[in-house]
C-alpha cells in the first residue's frame, strides 16, 4: 500500500479492571470544575454502579457535578436540547458520558449544540463542526458501539424517525475509560446485541475501501477475540476474562471503524433503528444474519 492515511482516537484511553477510580483525578487535571454527567436513569439508579462510582471519584477529587439522566436509547434531538439546558442552568464547563453508545452520542450532541449552533440537523455530515466541543470524557459500560472512542455522534430526529450522523474529529472524547468491572452485570440480551454490533464493526472496516494496515490488524484481532469471548460473556456475565476480552475487541473495532469507516449493515441498521426505535445492536445482528 502506498498512500497516505490519518489515524484518529482519543489522546488517552484507560483500560482494565478498576480504572474508573482514576476519573476524578483526570477531570481535575483537565481543569474541569463542574461536570455535566450524561447518562440513563436506570444506570444512575444502580447502587455502586458505573454512575455512582464515577460520582464518588469526582467527589474524592473535589470536582463538582450535575447529573443529566434524560438519555433515551437511540438518543433524540429532544434529549440533547434538555441536556444543553441543564448544562447552562447548572453552570457546567465540561461533560462526562456514562453508558453505552446512547449516552456517548447524547453527550456529544449536547456538546455540539453548545458550541456549534442549536440546529444539529444542519450539522449532519462529515467535518461540519467549526468549533470545539466542551471538554468531554467517556465512561463506557458496554462492549459495544465504540462511541467512547469515535468521531461519530448518531442522533435520531424523532419528528421524522430518521437517524443522522455528525462525523467530526472534534467529537472524539479527550479521554475514554473502558473498565470491564462496570460490565459484569450487563444483561444477557444487551451483552449479545452490543457484542454483535462490535462484531459487525470489526468486519466492515476490514472490507472497506478506506482500510489501512493498522485497521486491518485491529479488525483481525477483534474478530478472533469476539468469536470466543462473546459466547462466554453472554453465558456467564461475571466471567471477568471474557468481559475483558470483549472490551479489548470492542476498542480495537472502534479504533478501526473510526478510521476505515463502516458499510452496508450499518447503513441499513440506522434506517431500522430510526424507524422502529430498535436497539442498534439488534439491528446489526438481524442484518448480519439475513441473506
Indicate the residue among 30 and 288 with the shorter CB distance to Zn ion. Answer: 288
Alpha-helical (H) ranges within 176-212 are 188-206
Indicate the residue among 24 and 254 with the shorter CB distance to Zn ion. Answer: 254
- In this structure, the number of other CB atoms found within 10 A of the CB of residue 112 comes to 25
Position of minimal CB gap to Zn ion: 197
CB of 149 to Zn ion, least distance (A): 12
Helix (H, G, I), strand (E, B) or coil at 163: strand
Residue 234's closest CA among 276, 192, 174? 192
Count of residues that bind Zn ion according to CB under 5 A: 1
Indicate the residue among 148 and 197 with the shorter CB distance to Zn ion. Answer: 197
Indicate the residue among 162 and 181 with the shorter CB distance to Zn ion. Answer: 162
Alpha-helical (H) ranges within the chain are 23-29, 41-44, 50-61, 77-89, 101-116, 188-206, 213-235, 240-260, 264-276, 280-288
Contact characters 147-186, Zn ion, x per CB under 5 A: ----------------------------------------
Indicate the residue among 24 and 195 with the shorter CB distance to Zn ion. Answer: 195
Dist CA 107 CA 283 (whole Å): 22
Indicate the residue among 35 and 154 with the shorter CB distance to Zn ion. Answer: 154
CB of 236 to Zn ion, least distance (A): 24
Name the grid cell of 98: 456514562
Q: Cell 456549534 maps to which residue?
A: 116
Helix (H, G, I), strand (E, B) or coil at 136: strand
CA dihedral of 144, 112, 123, 219, whole degrees rounded to 10? -20
CB of 281 to Zn ion, least distance (A): 7
Name the grid cell of 180: 470491564
Helix (H, G, I), strand (E, B) or coil at 139: strand
Whats the size of the chain, residue-wise? 291
Name the grid cell of 83: 441536556
Name the grid cell of 73: 436509547
Is the distance from CB of 103 to CB of 155 less than 8 angstroms? no
CB of 103 to Zn ion, least distance (A): 15
Chain-centroid distance, C-alpha 234 = 20
* Listed ranges 3-11, 109-117, 153-161, 195-203: which one lies at the site for Zn ion (CB under 5 A): 195-203
Indicate the residue among 105 and 197 with the shorter CB distance to Zn ion. Answer: 197
Residues 122-151 that bind Zn ion (CB under 5 A): none
Contact characters 10-49, Zn ion, x per CB under 5 A: ----------------------------------------
197 touches Zn ion by CB under 5 A = yes
CB of 271 to Zn ion, least distance (A): 13
CB of 9 to Zn ion, least distance (A): 17
* Listed ranges 57-65, 73-81, 194-202, 212-220: which one lies at the site for Zn ion (CB under 5 A): 194-202
CB of 222 to Zn ion, least distance (A): 13
Point out which residues bind Zn ion (CB under 5 A).
Answer: 197
Amino acid at each position: 500500500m502506498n498512500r497516505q492515511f490519518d489515524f484518529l482516537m482519543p489522546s488517552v484511553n484507560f483500560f482494565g479492571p478498576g480504572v474508573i477510580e482514576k476519573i476524578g483525578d483526570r477531570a481535575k487535571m483537565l481543569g474541569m470544575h463542574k461536570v455535566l454527567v450524561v447518562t440513563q436513569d436506570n444506570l444512575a439508579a444502580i447502587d455502586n454502579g458505573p454512575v455512582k462510582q464515577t460520582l464518588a471519584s469526582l467527589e474524592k477529587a473535589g470536582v463538582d457535578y450535575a447529573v443529566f439522566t434524560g438519555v433515551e436509547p437511540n438518543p433524540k434531538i429532544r434529549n440533547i436540547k434538555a441536556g444543553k439546558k441543564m448544562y447552562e442552568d447548572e453552570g457546567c464547563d465540561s461533560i462526562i458520558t456514562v453508558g453505552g453508545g446512547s449516552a456517548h452520542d447524547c453527550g456529544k450532541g449536547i456538546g455540539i449544540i453548545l458550541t456549534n449552533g442549536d440546529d444539529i440537523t444542519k450539522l449532519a455530515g462529515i467535518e461540519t463542526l467549526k468549533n470545539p466541543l466542551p471538554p468531554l470524557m467517556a465512561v463506557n459500560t458496554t462492549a459495544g458501539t465504540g462511541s467512547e472512542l469515535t468521531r461519530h455522534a448518531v442522533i435520531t430526529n424523532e419528528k421524522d424517525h430518521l437517524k443522522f450522523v455528525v462525523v467530526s474529529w472534534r467529537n472524539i472524547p479527550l479521554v475514554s475509560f473502558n473498565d470491564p468491572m462496570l460490565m459484569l452485570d450487563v444483561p444477557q440480551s444487551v451483552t449479545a446485541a452490543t457484542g454483535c454490533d462490535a462484531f459487525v464493526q470489526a468486519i466492515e472496516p476490514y472490507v472497506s475501501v478506506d482500510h489501512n494496515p493498522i485497521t486491518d490488524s485491529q479488525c483481525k484481532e477483534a474478530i478472533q477475540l469476539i468469536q470466543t469471548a462473546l459466547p462466554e460473556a453472554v453465558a456467564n456475565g461475571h466471567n471477568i476474562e471474557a468481559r475483558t476480552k470483549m472490551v479489548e475487541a470492542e476498542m480495537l473495532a472502534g479504533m478501526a471503524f473510526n478510521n476505515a469507516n463502516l458499510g452496508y449493515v450499518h447503513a441499513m441498521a440506522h434506517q431500522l433503528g430510526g424507524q422502529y426505535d430498535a436497539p442498534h445492536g439488534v439491528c446489526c445482528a438481524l442484518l448480519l444474519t439475513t441473506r
